[in-house]
Structure 1
């Protein structure tokens, strides 16, 4: 049985590693081979192939349900029903729509929509909306999150922005929305949003500082309803029934074990219903059902078998779950605990088991965190040692009981007030720990180094006295594997995918420079959410220079976040007095230049500029006979001034001025520079129409290689090696839209 489940799990898990899905013909061949081997000695291979075919077929159906390419970027009137809990922010509301229909085209089954400055939207309502629809895509940067994989795993076939709408059918129900508003209205000592997250799984109201504290201390799982919360709710009722039976207070005519298992499952389903039965909750309920069934009927088969059965059951229900990091972390955590605590000789006192569980999880999940590119919290064992029992024993029972007793005047509010106070104490502790020890962002490891770390973690988790256990600590030294050292006279150029904005990282052998820091608008700061995490994952722990071309929000918006997150020796700017926040910058020095590791950097700014765009500080980089011009947003007048100052000096690569705007990239400028290629940074379907069709035609007429972040993701170039530009989307995954 174990062999069959292992084979099935292997076939189902192969999906996430495929660069492309097999064709229907090949799937039929594999299906026939799999069925044919089921009755032979090679039956595990047949089970594996059947699992593989099931996963690929499910993924293909999800891909087929994506928005048609001819509708990408078009605005349609459609009707649909709101599902889930809409997320409200200062910029508007985001929600999901099902049963969407349009008279003009067939639409995917589920849409994710944003309505900037829109009215309140409630689950269950039917709306008629004018929506600009887009195929599911997202920003794509090295070692960053893959939004396309997440959208596919949630079977969202299109995203879109609402332009106008009218409510067709209000709802008298919408009980989860009403309950959320009720929770947000109680006095919970300032922690009303955290209560809503804990009870309903709605973390949209949590302040950014709270999220940062949770991430830095490895305690996000406490406020995101997952297996831990479902298991706790189930465990409370299971323990109650078992305790009554042990104390002789349970009726003898009722077998206690079936009642305990049934009560636990009912509690889990009730909490899941309260939380909206999202994918993580469904997975947790399914895993719990398998565990309880095993506890009831097959207790002699050990703990690994139910874990395997739960893994297979989850993947059979939703094969795309393996595209989500939470799937791997949840199963890895359970597997680590089984590996460390099952079949051990001797017993531990409860406090010993609890403290050991924290460092076991910290070490055991390290390889998974590294593989998924997630930050590793060094304070997580200590934080969870306090936070998990505090949430489990104090906060969650008070929050759930208070929610249930809200109809009883005064009682529910009092319990929620106590729960909010307990949460406030916890958040104060987590904020202190986060400040004391921020999360560690490890550089991506080569495969061999990662395998060494994984083997080292497994050795360290062996029981005391096992030979070679101490070797595990030595193997963890691979965590600090040296990164590739650039040759003298070369510079690595990485134009990040930041949507409608610009951020370019330049790294020589020993120095780093950031040209612009990405956009920030409202509560969206890509300097904090994209630029800073990418720099850390690439091993950039200090910037020698941050150069902000000019003060527009799409170039300078993220500068303050980068400045807070990294030491910066020098900040230069085209408009230093106009920068956001408290940034202290020096003006762009016309004619200033320096040399790092054999690479030459030169600054230029038009002294007669009359507009912010034309005041862009321009950077010319020369390495190994290759030249790159970072032009910011300069327009035609500044381009003429550049030609007057520098003449017809050819370059190799050009960052498209002003994102390819019609007011830039003039014919004389392109002809004089004669670049090999152009790098465009812009957001897909942006409202400015960048890049303009005339500019693209101009580039094509000159034979330039055009590289576009909206099409290729982040762009990487090794200046000085005379190579080509590589786009992040060139790393093929079956869920990535190639166009």
Structure 2
């Protein structure tokens, strides 16, 4: 039976790695095949196929519920009910709409909407909204968060921007929203949003700086409702009943163990209901329930049995949970503790068990952080050493008790004031620790090296008497000091990042790195910090030799300050030296300036008669082994005419499309002179500017240029000077990714 359960788990988990889902017909035939295999000794294979079939069928249902392509970008009147807790900040309202309906069109069951400048929207209300609909999408880079996977795991079938709307019915059964409003209204010493996150799982009110501190110290799990909080509450209830039974305070006619397990599970469900009972909370409740069942009836089966049952139960209830990093981290952390504490010849003391648990989790999860592309907190073992008991014993009980007693203002407000003060003190300590040891983003490692580090981590989790156990340290360190891929002299690696409606291009030679533009920043939405800086670190780049900002517009220079804070920058050059989104003081762009790095030639140009910021864009030409790349920023037709009179106006292999494909750029004279074999187009999906203009696209297609569009294909990477075949992020097939449009016939002609 255990073998069958293990095979079932493998089948359910296999969904995460499928490039495409099988045809629905095969999924319908699969149950018959499984039934035919069960009487034979191939039952593990039958369980594997059963798990895989159910996971694929559930994923197909989610894909079928996505917005149809014909409605992408269309505006429709939609009716539906607001579900979950809404997010309102800086005049922007974000919320989810369920049971959505339209008169003529079939819509997904669940949509995530944003309303700029809209009125307050509360959970439980019914609205009629004019929404510009979009298919689920997101930025797609070689490393980082895959938003399409996240949206599918949440079963969100569409996103959209609200243009107008009217409330049809007031809120009903919105008690969670009412509790949140009360929590935000109390005096919690400035930590009201933190208490709302801890009690309700609503982290929307936390400031970006708070999230950075939590990430740097590896304590994000403390401010989102996780298995730790639910397990703690159920453990307190279980311990209370056990303590009463031990000292004679529990009724003798009631068997204490079943009651302790039942009440503990009821407490877990109540806390989960308070938190909205979303997938992570469901996972925690299932795990707690199975542990309590194991404690009640099945302790003789060993500690691995409830973990395996919980894994299968979670994935059967929601097969798409495996698309979320939190799923892997939570189960891996429990598995690490079971492996580390099981099979010991003698028990550790309490303080030894607690301190060693933190270090063992850090070691055991390190390969998983590498595989998921997540930042690694160097201070997490130390931070969790004091943060976990402080939140568990002090902050959380005060916050929950204060919330329960809000009907008695004197008691409830006082307890929440104390909880807020305790939480504020914790944040101050974590902020100090984060300042000393910020999160580390490890460079990408080859698959074989990652496997060696995994084996090393497993060795280190074994008991001390195991032969060759200490070999785990050098095996683990191989991933930390992974060899960096060498770029031959005379070549440059070019990566156009997917930063939406903006631009960021990394140019890396053998020993030097240049960043051309740093991505957009609009308010707290800083893609320099979210995309550009992590991508540089994942590439193993320790410093920038030059940051070249074409001009000062927010979509090109907005992320520069975040990049400069995260990495040393030897020199900053800009087409504009002041104004706009510049948070730095760049040196001016000097036309005709040339230099050479590792056999690669670089040259700058700027129009001397430029009047506007776009016209002042600093243009960069790169030559490597006879291949040319021209980066143009946001130059317009007038600037292009001036460029034609310079030495840069020669046959060019790669061209960055000026001004994101605006109608005011990419003139015929420029294209005919440059005759680009391929072009790089950086823009946002469904952007409000209409980029790229259809006429501009038609020009490039008539030229026979291969078009690499970030909105359609994600990030693109190639070697200039090596006649290299470009690789796009979307070419890495995953079943949840929308295929790139077929309007781009991308074949780069040979040089």
TM-score by length of 2: 0.97
SS in 2 for 1:365: helix
SS in 1 for 2:578: helix
Aligned residue number for residue 62 of structure 2: 62
Once the two structures are superposed, residues 645-701 of structure 1 have per-residue CA deviations (whole angstroms, 9 ceiling, x without a partner) of 237511101000000000000000000011101110000111111000000111111
Aligned residue number for residue 529 of structure 2: 528
Aligned residue number for residue 358 of structure 1: 358
Following TM superposition, by how much is the alpha carbon of 1:343 offset from its aligned partner in structure 2, in angstroms? 3.0
Partners of 2:676 and 2:349 in 1: CA distance: 71
Following TM superposition, by how much is the alpha carbon of 1:724 offset from its aligned partner in structure 2, in angstroms? 2.9
Partners of 1:39 and 1:109 in 2: CA distance: 40
Partners of 1:62 and 1:657 in 2: CA distance: 38
Aligned residue number for residue 616 of structure 1: 617
Aligned residue number for residue 281 of structure 1: 281
Once the two structures are superposed, residues 304-331 of structure 1 have per-residue CA deviations (whole angstroms, 9 ceiling, x without a partner) of 0010000001000110100000000000
Once the two structures are superposed, residues 350-391 of structure 1 have per-residue CA deviations (whole angstroms, 9 ceiling, x without a partner) of 111111111111111111111111111111000000000000
Tell me which stretches of 4 or more aligned residues in structure 1 moved more than 4 Å.
none
Aligned residue number for residue 593 of structure 1: 594
RMSD across aligned positions (CA): 1.1
SS in 1 for 2:735: coil
Alignment of structure 1 residues 333-732 onto 2, 5 Å = 333-479=333-479, 480-578=481-579, 580=581, 582-646=583-647, 648-732=649-733
- Are residues 632 and 375 of structure 1, via their aligned partners in 2, closer, same or farther at CA, if it must alter by over 3 Å? same
SS in 1 for 2:406: coil
Following TM superposition, by how much is the alpha carbon of 1:36 offset from its aligned partner in structure 2, in angstroms? 1.1
Is this contact kept in 2: 1:91–1:522, CA < 8 A?
no
Following TM superposition, by how much is the alpha carbon of 1:593 offset from its aligned partner in structure 2, in angstroms? 1.2
Following TM superposition, by how much is the alpha carbon of 1:282 offset from its aligned partner in structure 2, in angstroms? 1.0
Aligned residue number for residue 3 of structure 1: 3
Structure 1: which 5+ residue stretches go unaligned? none
SS in 2 for 1:225: coil
Is this contact kept in 2: 1:90–1:523, CA < 8 A?
no
Partners of 2:574 and 2:308 in 1: CA distance: 57
Partners of 1:581 and 1:201 in 2: CA distance: 36
Following TM superposition, by how much is the alpha carbon of 1:173 offset from its aligned partner in structure 2, in angstroms? 4.3
Q: How many residue pairs are counted as aligned between the two chains?
A: 739
Partners of 1:270 and 1:26 in 2: CA distance: 41
Is this contact kept in 2: 1:112–1:158, CA < 8 A?
yes
Is this contact kept in 2: 1:492–1:507, CA < 8 A?
yes
Following TM superposition, by how much is the alpha carbon of 1:579 offset from its aligned partner in structure 2, in angstroms? 5.1
Is this contact kept in 2: 1:15–1:56, CA < 8 A?
yes
Is this contact kept in 2: 1:125–1:167, CA < 8 A?
yes
Aligned residue number for residue 92 of structure 1: 92
Following TM superposition, by how much is the alpha carbon of 1:528 offset from its aligned partner in structure 2, in angstroms? 1.1
Once the two structures are superposed, residues 598-657 of structure 1 have per-residue CA deviations (whole angstroms, 9 ceiling, x without a partner) of 111100000001111111000001011100000000000000000012375111010000
TM-score by length of 1: 0.99
SS in 2 for 1:615: coil
- Are residues 291 and 721 of structure 1, via their aligned partners in 2, closer, same or farther at CA, if it must alter by over 3 Å? same
Q: Does residue 117 of structure 1 match 2:117?
A: yes
Partners of 1:719 and 1:549 in 2: CA distance: 21
Aligned residue number for residue 322 of structure 2: 322
Partners of 1:697 and 1:582 in 2: CA distance: 37
Partners of 1:208 and 1:331 in 2: CA distance: 27
Partners of 2:595 and 2:511 in 1: CA distance: 14
Following TM superposition, by how much is the alpha carbon of 1:149 offset from its aligned partner in structure 2, in angstroms? 0.5
Partners of 1:242 and 1:29 in 2: CA distance: 51
- Are residues 372 and 273 of structure 1, via their aligned partners in 2, closer, same or farther at CA, if it must alter by over 3 Å? same
SS in 1 for 2:409: coil
Is this contact kept in 2: 1:680–1:706, CA < 8 A?
yes
Aligned residue number for residue 194 of structure 1: 194
Aligned residue number for residue 152 of structure 1: 152
Q: Which moved more, 1:479-488 or 1:573-582?
A: 573-582
